[in-house]
Amino acid sequence: MNQVLNYQKYKKIAVMGGTFNPIHNGHLVAAEFVRQELGIERVIFIPTGNPPHKNTNPMYNEHRYLMTVLATVNNPHFEVSRLEIDRQGYTYTIDTITELKKRCSADCKIYFISGADAILQILQWKEPEKLLSMCEFVAVTRPGNNIKELEKTVSMLKDKYKGKITLIEIPALSISSTNIRHRILANKSIKYLLPSNVEDYIHKFSLYQAEDITSKEIEKIKGKLHSILTSKRYKHTLGVAQEALQLAKRYNVDTYKAYLAGLLHDCAKCYTNKEKLELCKKYNINLDKFLLENPELIHSFLGAKIAELEYNITDFDILNAIAYHTTGRENMSILEKIVFIADYIEPNRDYFDGLDKIRELAYKNINTAIIFALENTMKYLKNRNIKLHPLGKKALMYLKEEKNE
Ligand code: ATP
Ligand code: MG
C-alpha cells in the first residue's frame, strides 16, 4: 500500500514513534496527554521499520502496523503512517522527520513524543543536532523517573545543541510491550493493558507465541551457519538456541532475542586460530595476553563483531551475550547469563560430572548454575594447568558476593 498523506492544513503535529510490538495503553495515554497539554491537532503514530537498536522479528511488521491502526481508530486526532514500515534498510528518525516536513506547511511545528528513557540516549541517534533543530521533543516522564538526571540532559541539549525539549509528567502507567509479550508466553491475562481490539487481534493470530521463532531472518542465518560450521558444531548451535529459548521463557526474557543470540554464539568458530588473529587485527579487537595464549577463547569476542557485520545484529544485549558466552563477566545481563548457561547445558553436550546438577539449577536459580559451571570449568582447567580467564574469575566473585548479600 502506498500511502501519501498530506498535513498542509495543520499548524501543530506530533510524531509518536515506537516499535509498538504491540501498542499498549501506555503509548496511547502518553500521546493523548501530550496532545491535550500542547494543543496538538494531529498525532501521527509511526511504527518503526527496521530500527538499528532493536532486532524485531520482521514477520511482525505488518501486524505491528495493523495493531496500531486498531488501537487508534476511535481517536479522531490520531492516525498511523507507513512511512517507516515501508522503507527498506535501517530506519532513522531524522529521515522520517525530513520526509514528514516535506508534507507539512512551512510554519507547521513538529513535536516528537518519546519516553524519557529515549531522550537520555538521543545523542546516539543519527544526526542528533539536525534532528533537534527540526522538531521539538516532548519527553513523557512517569513518577519514579530520575528527573534530576533528565533535567541535566535536557539543559545540556539546550545549551549545546539549542534543542527544545519539554518534559511532561503523565499518569503512572508502567506498562511495556516487553512485559505484555512475556505475559502472553506465560499464559497470563493481558486484559486492560491494551485496547481490547488489539488483544483480540493478538489472540486471533496467536501472536507472540514461542513458535514464532521462525522468520526469514532466522532461516537465512541458519542456512549460512549450516554452510560454515561442522555438522557437530551446527547441531550444538541449534541446541544452544533452543535451550536459550526455553530459559528465556523461564526468566521472562525476549524469546526471539535469546534464540538469535544462541544461534549466533559460535558464529566465529569456523576460523582457524591464525584467521581469528588476523580478523581481530582487522576489526581492532584488543586481545589481552591471556587471549593470545589461549586463542580458543577468541571466537566469543570475534563472534560478536562477526554477528554485527555479517549477520546485521544491532542489539547490544545480543552482541554482549555472544562476546561473553565463554568467559562470563561481572554484572552480566540476564540474556548474557542465559546464553552462557545454555551453551553449557544444551541437550547435545557430551556428558560430564555435574552436568545434571547444572541443568537442574539453570531453571531454578541461574546465578547458582553459573557459579557451579564456572567452578566446574576451573577444576577442568586446573587439571590441564590452565587458569580461568580473569573475566570469569570476576564473574564468579561477583555472583558469589551477590548470593551472600
Ligand atoms: P519494549 O518493551 O519492547 O521496549 P515499549 O513498551 O517501551 O516496548 P516502544 O514501542 O519501545 O514500547 O515505545 C515507543 C515510545 O513510547 C518510546 O518513546 C517509549 O519510551 C514510550 N513508552 C513506552 N511505554 C510507555 C508507557 N507505559 N508510558 C509512557 N511512554 C511509554
Ligand atoms: Mg522501550
- Note the pLDDT tens digit of each residue in 265-274: 999 999 999 9
Instruction: Indicate whether residue 327 lines ligand 1 (CB < 6 A).
Output: no
CATH architecture of the domain with range 216-404: Orthogonal Bundle (1.10)
Instruction: Indicate whether residue 26 lines ligand 1 (CB < 6 A).
Output: yes
In the structure, what pLDDT confidence band is assigned to residue 68 with cuts at 50, 70 and 90? Answer: very high
pTM of the model: 0.64
Give the three-class secondary structure for 83.
Answer: coil
Q: Tell me the average pLDDT of the chain.
A: 90
What are 279's three cell numbers?
A: 580478523
Alpha carbon nearest to ligand 1 atom 14, residue:
18
* Residue 309: Cβ within 10 Å count: 10
Give the three-class secondary structure for 129.
Answer: helix
Out of 27, 65, 253, 255, mutate this one to test ligand 1's pocket (max ligand atoms within 8 Å of CB): namely 27
What is the percentage of the chain residues whose pLDDT exceeds 70? 94
Instruction: Indicate whether residue 176 lines ligand 1 (CB < 6 A).
Output: yes
Ligand 1 atom closest to 25 (CA) = 27
12-204 with 216-404: one CATH topology? no
Q: Which pLDDT does position 322 carry in this prediction? A: 98
Instruction: Indicate whether residue 121 lines ligand 1 (CB < 6 A).
Output: no
In the structure, what pLDDT confidence band is assigned to residue 51 with cuts at 50, 70 and 90? Answer: low
In the structure, what pLDDT confidence band is assigned to residue 211 with cuts at 50, 70 and 90? Answer: low
Where in the chain are the domains? Answer: 12-204, 216-404
- Alpha-carbon torsion, ordered 180, 44, 115, 171, to 10 deg: -80
Instruction: Indicate whether residue 178 lines ligand 1 (CB < 6 A).
Output: yes
> What pLDDT, in 10s, does the model give residues 99-118?
999 999 999 999 999 988 78
> How far apart, in whole angstroms, are the C-alpha atoms of residue 172 and residue 192?
15
Instruction: Indicate whether residue 55 lines ligand 1 (CB < 6 A).
Output: no
In the structure, what pLDDT confidence band is assigned to residue 46 with cuts at 50, 70 and 90? Answer: very high
Q: Which pLDDT does position 181 carry in this prediction? A: 85
Q: Which pLDDT does position 191 carry in this prediction? A: 97
In the structure, what pLDDT confidence band is assigned to residue 213 with cuts at 50, 70 and 90? Answer: low
> How far apart, in whole angstroms, are the C-alpha atoms of residue 177 and residue 193?
10
| Ligand 1: centre distance to CA 332 (Å) | 24
Q: Which pLDDT does position 212 carry in this prediction? A: 58
In the structure, what pLDDT confidence band is assigned to residue 13 with cuts at 50, 70 and 90? Answer: very high
Could you write out the DSSP letters of every residue in 265-302?
A: TTTTTTS-HHHHHHHHHHTT----HHHHH-GGGHHHHH
* Lowest mean pLDDT, pick from 55-64, 71-80, 135-144, 307-316: 55-64
Q: Which pLDDT does position 24 carry in this prediction? A: 97
pLDDT at 135 over 70: yes
Could you tell me which CATH class the domain 12-204 is placed in? Answer: alpha beta
Q: Which pLDDT does position 52 carry in this prediction? A: 62
Out of 72, 176, 254, 257, mutate this one to test ligand 1's pocket (max ligand atoms within 8 Å of CB): namely 176
Q: Which pLDDT does position 108 carry in this prediction? A: 95
The residue that leads in pLDDT, 219 or 230, is 230
What are 277's three cell numbers?
A: 588473529
> How far apart, in whole angstroms, are the C-alpha atoms of residue 58 and residue 19?
11
Out of 177, 182, 316, mutate this one to test ligand 1's pocket (max ligand atoms within 8 Å of CB): namely 177
* Lowest mean pLDDT, pick from 76-80, 86-90, 166-170, 375-379: 86-90
Instruction: Indicate whether residue 118 lines ligand 1 (CB < 6 A).
Output: yes
